[in-house]
Amino acid sequence: MEAIIFIGIQAAGKSTFFQQRFFNTHVRINMDMLRTRNRERVLLAACLEAKQPFVIDNTNLTRQGRAGYISQAKAAGFSVAWYYFKIHGHLPNSTLGAWREPSSALKNGLSGNVPLMRLARITVGNCCLDVM
């Protein structure tokens, strides 16, 4: 049983990575699809109860924001892994298959969200952090 938490700002490639790597094996839990925290809680509880592997595909920028997912997953006997999606000035555009400059709206999001991001400290045996 595996719980995976994606960490990264909007348009960092989290959802595309999910589709390429976890689509056939894990349930995707994200606010873009579910729209409310209540729906997110219901789906997360169902995954935990059914022992279904899942991916939390939200920005998850703060340790506090990730803590609830981690504690619930560990209490249910899941291993927990994190993937951090790093932006390097240009963003992939999967539709065009090429690189493009970030839009002004995304640049504003970068400046607003990056200072909030706090990466996990790796101190627990079965937790890991992978930088994508």
Tell me what pLDDT residue 1 has: 94
- The residue type of 27 is V
Instruction: Kindly report, residue by residue over 59-84, the tens digit of the pLDDT.
Output: 998 888 899 999 999 999 999 999 98
Query: Is the model's pLDDT at 116 over the cut of 80?
Result: no
Instruction: Kindly report, residue by residue over 84-93, the tens digit of the pLDDT.
Output: 888 765 544 4
Local confidence band at 113 (pLDDT 50, 70, 90 cut-offs): low
Tell me what pLDDT residue 117 has: 55
- What is the CATH number assigned to the segment(s) 2-131? 3.40.50.300
Helix/strand/coil (H/E/C) assignment for every residue in 14-49: HHHHHHHHCCCCCEEECHHHHCCHHHHHHHHHHHHH
Instruction: Kindly report, residue by residue over 30-62, the tens digit of the pLDDT.
Output: 999 999 999 999 999 999 999 999 999 999 988
> Strand 79-84 relative to strand 127-131: parallel, antiparallel, unpaired?
parallel
Tell me what pLDDT residue 11 has: 84
Pick the residue with more confidence: 4 or 99? Answer: 4
Pair of tokens at residue 127: 């937790």
Q: How far is CA 131 from the centre of its chain?
A: 12
